[in-house]
């Protein structure tokens, strides 16, 4: 049988091939096996598979050295086993590699293609175009003069004097430019004497580079490195710098992070930082991950010239799987002084909370039981010298053991048992809220509920018993306390769920709408016990709102149990998207009637007053991305609104955002406002490329601006500039003013101080302009 080879549309007999080679004026398309141009005839079923695979562009995984070679051209000259000359739109394809040119001379013995005129090499997500090239097709080695190149994985490209394709998929550029800008809009570009791209390791390393911005050189670096994929690698990250006024010291703040890729499951980032007027700071973040443990360690230190002392911060978060169901953990953080986060902190969380958790413990779960044992301490910062503005120190747990058992649907009953034993210690000075320096508290709570559930109604009676034992040591001048309190609580929760098709709303919402009506009645009874002599270890007022009005206790914590003889009636109505289940609108109105008056207070006994509070709430998720959430509370005894809260947001499209909120809380006893603030924030395009961002938070009681943010963003084709100013009140006498400036060259680096985290923290819903080029379509490299 004669030797044959396969082509996408027909089979040629090799004996007739020489007479067919010298043909002009037609497009020849055939397959040349790279090993001798011939292979045994494939079975018909395999021929069919190959044809279908080629038509569907599904390439079988075939090594380059045995893969078929496809060619096409307007004119073809040559001899079968000798040189071939392809003229006019000449193309050679093998696997995912495409070579094009005006004229291609191909030698099968050496597997070398000489390309003259409009030389093009396409491989995977890279492309090169130049006047001349020589390429070894199988090894994909060779060179190209004066190429225009694209590295599509990172959205970059440029020009070079010469590019060489070396073994192991390495590409070497000489005298090159690089940018992620479009050629017709080359706002910034990098010039370098050399750049080596290793596609296997997805890295690009260059030397003697100068960054040009609008033709002006702004940065020189002897060595630079770029990622060409998503893999991690060691190298310098974008530096940050800016000016700030903190703690009376004004000056530059510059950080040059360096990332170290230690292992696939470990890495480290170094943060060398210079603060003008203070000195040099070194920070480090070490992350690790394993099958049985994970964690992160952070540390930073500075010999502060302005403060006159060494200042530092340390943090550790670690989780360890010890055995099946048993997990240990540590969450520890500490700073050197009360003003550290105001003067040196990079985290907004520390400025807001001013409290650092120091906790070590273990958790165990098995067969419905969840057991926690821990030691928990706190570092609470006190930056304000005014005692009226100082933060109240919490009690520390040394230690706590908590066990909780939950069993649902046990013979129709829901059973919960919880026990807890804790030793509390207080490290601060005595004040009106802290009368005990340390003490032991143990409690046990058991509750049994029997729910009756149907699609249209529910009824849940519940009985619970709580026993609490105290043994505490007071501050000097106070009496010891050893006391046991046992209180039962009975509650009855009931409701209906009525639903109908709201045809009259279909036109308004342009979709099928369901409407519900859900009346609810809730009764709770707890007898009175005197508790004013008990400590407040972990308890606060739970507030009064939509989520709390149907609860059994008006306190959050375990040191107070409110005496209750209250009934709450409420109605909720929902507007639902019938096709998706999305809740478009929810309105609730509820009235809680205190039939006897509550006597137990947080810090003192209350005069029992039969109260009737009316609560109304509205929440919307309307089509058009306009959202409104509001709550009001009306007290009939004082005939006043004692709580008003409203939040509105409008988000018609990406990067168009407006937020507004107002909150006022009044003390019913003296009708004075305890909180009265409003806030405005947003992000909005000013022109096609300019965006404005702002936040304004004002306190009406102190007549003071608490937080003010204003900034601009400019989005060009391949770079972004951000300028943001923030002024916020740290304490009653201390304020911080900062200016963040950043130029982000998309897909390359950023210069300045990155304000994105700051903006996100202050403006809910903010969407930053992408710092990277747009992702490449899978159809862009279809050739």
> For the segment 467-498, what is each residue's pLDDT rounded down to a tens digit?
999 998 876 666 667 889 999 999 999 999 99
Q: Which residue has the higher pLDDT, 582 or 153?
A: 582
Query: What is the CB neighbour count within 10 angstroms for residue 452?
Result: 11
Q: In sequence order, what are the beta bridge partners of 122? A: 98, 127
User: Lowest mean pLDDT: which of 2-11, 100-109, 249-258, 586-595?
Assistant: 2-11
- The predicted model gives 727-747 an average pLDDT of 78
User: Lowest mean pLDDT: which of 449-458, 617-626, 675-684?
Assistant: 617-626
**Is 60 a residue whose pLDDT tops 80?**
no
Contact predicate 679/705, CB 8 Å? no
Max Cα separation, the chain? 117
Q: Distances in Å between the alpha carbon of 88 and those of 98, 100, 318, 515?
A: 15, 10, 66, 69
Extended strands (E) in 475-582: 481-496, 498-501, 513-526, 540-541, 555-556, 564-577
Residue 263, Cβ density class (10 Å: 0-12 exposed, 13-18 middle, ≥19 buried): exposed
The pLDDT score that the predictor gives to residue 732 is 66
**Is 83 a residue whose pLDDT tops 90?**
no
- The predicted model gives 73-87 an average pLDDT of 80
Residue with tokens 């005006």: 102
Residue 235 in tokens: 């190298």
Return the C-alpha torsion angle 139, 140, 146, 152, nearest 10: -150
* Confidence band of 24 (pLDDT split at 50, 70, 90): very low
**pLDDT tens digits, 682-731:** 999 999 899 999 999 998 888 888 889 999 999 988 899 988 988 887 66
Contact predicate 238/754, CB 8 Å? yes
User: Lowest mean pLDDT: which of 56-65, 526-535, 732-741?
Assistant: 56-65
Q: Distances in Å between the alpha carbon of 490 and those of 123, 444, 447, 464, 466?
A: 74, 17, 10, 7, 12
Contact predicate 630/650, CB 8 Å? no
The pLDDT score that the predictor gives to residue 727 is 85
Phi, psi dihedral angles at 319 (to 5 degrees): -130, 135
The pLDDT score that the predictor gives to residue 12 is 32
Q: Which of 652, 645, 644 is nearest to 622 (CA)?
A: 652
The pLDDT score that the predictor gives to residue 714 is 93
What percent of the chain stands above pLDDT 70? Answer: 84
Q: Which residue has the higher pLDDT, 54 or 234?
A: 234
Phi, psi dihedral angles at 456 (to 5 degrees): -105, -20
Q: In sequence order, what are the beta bridge partners of 707? A: 697, 728
Q: Which of 451, 359, 358, 445 is nearest to 412 (CA)?
A: 451
- The predicted model gives 307-315 an average pLDDT of 91
The pLDDT score that the predictor gives to residue 673 is 73
Average model confidence (pLDDT) across the chain:
83
Residue with tokens 């550029």: 173
The 10 Å CB-count burial string (b at 16+, else e) for 696-727 is: ebbbeeeeeeebbbebebbbeebbbbbbbbbb
Q: In sequence order, what are the beta bridge partners of 297? A: 286, 316
The pLDDT score that the predictor gives to residue 383 is 77
User: Lowest mean pLDDT: which of 39-43, 65-69, 301-305, 706-710?
Assistant: 39-43
- The predicted model gives 618-624 an average pLDDT of 80
* Local structure of 16: helix, strand or coil: helix
**Is 335 a residue whose pLDDT tops 70?**
yes
Residue 164, Cβ density class (10 Å: 0-12 exposed, 13-18 middle, ≥19 buried): middle
* Confidence band of 603 (pLDDT split at 50, 70, 90): confident
The pLDDT score that the predictor gives to residue 10 is 30
**Is 36 a residue whose pLDDT tops 70?**
no
**pLDDT tens digits, 394-441:** 899 999 999 999 999 999 999 999 999 999 998 876 665 677 888 999
The pLDDT score that the predictor gives to residue 2 is 32
CA-atom Rg of the chain in angstroms: 36
> Which run of H or E residues covers position 523?
strand 513-526
The pLDDT score that the predictor gives to residue 536 is 87
Query: What is the CB neighbour count within 10 angstroms for residue 449?
Result: 17
- The predicted model gives 231-252 an average pLDDT of 74
Q: Which of 723, 682, 674 is nearest to 699 (CA)?
A: 674
How much is the pTM? Answer: 0.72
CA dihedral (234, 239, 240, 241) positive or negative = positive
The pLDDT score that the predictor gives to residue 576 is 92
* Confidence band of 50 (pLDDT split at 50, 70, 90): very low
Q: How far apart are CA 89 and CA 103, in angstroms?
A: 8
Q: In sequence order, what are the beta bridge partners of 698? A: 678, 705
Q: Which residue has the higher pLDDT, 544 or 73?
A: 73
Q: How far apart are CA 418 and CA 288, in angstroms?
A: 35
- The predicted model gives 351-359 an average pLDDT of 78
- The predicted model gives 639-654 an average pLDDT of 89
* Side-chain-side CA neighbours of residue 10 (13 Å): 6
Residue with tokens 């018993």: 465
Q: How far apart are CA 270 and CA 280, in angstroms?
A: 13
Contact predicate 547/633, CB 8 Å? no
Q: Quote the distance between the C-alpha of residue 444 and its chain's center.
A: 39
Q: Which of 414, 410, 328 is nearest to 371 (CA)?
A: 328
**pLDDT tens digits, 743-782:** 888 877 777 777 887 888 889 889 888 766 655 555 555 5
The pLDDT score that the predictor gives to residue 733 is 66
Residue with tokens 């026993």: 467
Contact predicate 472/484, CB 8 Å? no
* Confidence band of 119 (pLDDT split at 50, 70, 90): very high
757: left (phi over 0), alpha (psi -120 to 50) or beta: alpha
């Amino acid at each position: 049988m004669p030797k044959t080879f396969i082509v996408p549309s027909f089979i040629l007999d090799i004996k007739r091939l020489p007479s067919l080679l010298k043909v002009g004026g037609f497009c020849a398309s055939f397959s040349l096996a790279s090993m001798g141009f011939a292979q045994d005839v494939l079975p018909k079923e395999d021929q069919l598979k190959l044809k279908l695979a080629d038509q569907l562009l599904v390439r079988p995984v075939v090594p380059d050295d045995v893969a078929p070679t496809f060619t096409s051209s307007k004119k073809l000259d040559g001899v079968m086993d000798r040189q071939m000359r392809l003229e006019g739109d000449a193309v050679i394809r093998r696997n995912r590699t495409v070579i094009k040119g005006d004229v291609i001379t191909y030698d099968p013995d050496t597997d070398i293609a000489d390309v003259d005129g409009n030389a093009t090499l396409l491989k995977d997500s890279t492309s090169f175009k130049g006047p001349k090239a020589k390429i070894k097709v199988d090894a994909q080695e060779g060179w190209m003069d004066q190429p225009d190149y694209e590295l599509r994985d990172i959205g970059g490209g440029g020009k070079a004097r010469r590019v060489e394709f070396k073994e192991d998929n390495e590409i070497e550029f000489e005298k090159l430019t690089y940018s992620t800008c479009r050629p017709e809009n080359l706002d910034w570009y990098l010039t370098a004497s050399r750049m080596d791209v290793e596609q296997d390791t997805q890295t690009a390393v260059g030397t003697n580079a100068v960054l040009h911005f609008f033709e002006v050189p702004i940065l020189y670096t002897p060595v630079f490195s770029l990622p060409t994929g998503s893999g991690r690698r060691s190298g310098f990250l974008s530096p940050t710098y800016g000016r700030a006024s903190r703690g009376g010291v004004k000056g530059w703040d510059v950080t040059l992070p360096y990332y170290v890729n230690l292992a696939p499951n470990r890495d480290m980032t170094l943060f060398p930082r210079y603060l003008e007027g203070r000195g040099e700071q070194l920070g480090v973040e070490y992350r690790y991950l394993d099958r049985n443990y994970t964690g992160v360690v952070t540390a930073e230190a500075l010999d502060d010239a302005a403060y006159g002392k060494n200042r530092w911060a340390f943090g550790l978060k670690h989780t360890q799987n010890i055995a099946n169901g048993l997990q240990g953990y540590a969450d520890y953080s500490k700073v050197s002084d009360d003003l550290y986060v105001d003067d040196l902190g990079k985290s907004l969380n520390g400025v807001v909370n001013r409290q650092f958790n120091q906790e070590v413990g273990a958790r165990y779960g098995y067969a419905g039981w969840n057991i926690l044992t821990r030691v928990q301490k706190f570092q609470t910062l006190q930056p304000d010298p005014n005692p009226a503005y100082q933060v109240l120190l919490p009690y520390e747990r040394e230690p706590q053991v908590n066990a909780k058992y939950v069993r649902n649907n046990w013979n129709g009953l829901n059973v919960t048992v919880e026990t807890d034993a804790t030793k509390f210690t207080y490290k601060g000075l005595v004040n009106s809220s802290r009368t005990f320096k340390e003490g032991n508290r143990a409690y046990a709570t058991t509750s049994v509920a029997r729910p009756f559930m149907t699609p249209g109604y529910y009824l849940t009676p519940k009985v619970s018993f709580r026993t609490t034992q105290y043994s505490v040591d007071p501050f000097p001048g106070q009496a010891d306390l050893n006391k046991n309190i046992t209180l039962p609580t009975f509650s009855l929760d009931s409701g209906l769920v009525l639903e109908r098709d709201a045809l009259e709303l279909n036109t308004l919402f342009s979709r099928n709408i369901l409407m519900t009506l859900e009346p609810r009645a809730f009764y709770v009874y707890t007898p009175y016990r005197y508790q004013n002599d008990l400590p407040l270890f972990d308890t606060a007022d739970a507030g009064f709102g939509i989520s709390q009005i149907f609860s059994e206790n008006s306190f959050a914590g375990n040191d107070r149990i409110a005496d209750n003889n209250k009934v709450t009636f409420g109605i909720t109505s929902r507007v639902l998207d019938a096709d998706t289940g999305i809740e478009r609108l929810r309105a609730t109105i509820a009235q809680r009637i205190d039939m006897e008056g509550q006597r137990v207070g947080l810090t003192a006994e209350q005069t029992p007053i039969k109260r009737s509070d009316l609560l109304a709430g509205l929440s919307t998720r309307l089509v058009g991305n306009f959202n409104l959430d509001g709550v009001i509370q009306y007290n009939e005894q004082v005939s006043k609104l004692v709580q008003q809260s409203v939040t509105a947001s409008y988000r018609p499209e990406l990067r168009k955002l407006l937020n507004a909120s107002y909150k006022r809380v009044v003390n019913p006893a003296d009708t004075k406002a305890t909180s009265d603030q409003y806030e405005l924030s947003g992000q909005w395009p000013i022109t096609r490329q300019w965006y404005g961002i702002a936040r304004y938070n004002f306190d009406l009681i102190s007549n003071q601006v608490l937080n003010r943010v204003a900034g601009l963003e400019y989005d060009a084709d391949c770079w972004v500039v951000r300028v943001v100013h923030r002024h916020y009140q740290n304490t009653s006498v201390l304020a911080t003013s900062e200016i963040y400036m950043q130029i982000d060259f998309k897909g390359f680096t950023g210069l300045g101080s990155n304000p994105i985290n700051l903006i996100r923290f202050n403006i809910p819903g903010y969407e930053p302009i992408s710092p990277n080029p747009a992702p490449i379509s899978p159809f862009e490299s279809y050739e």
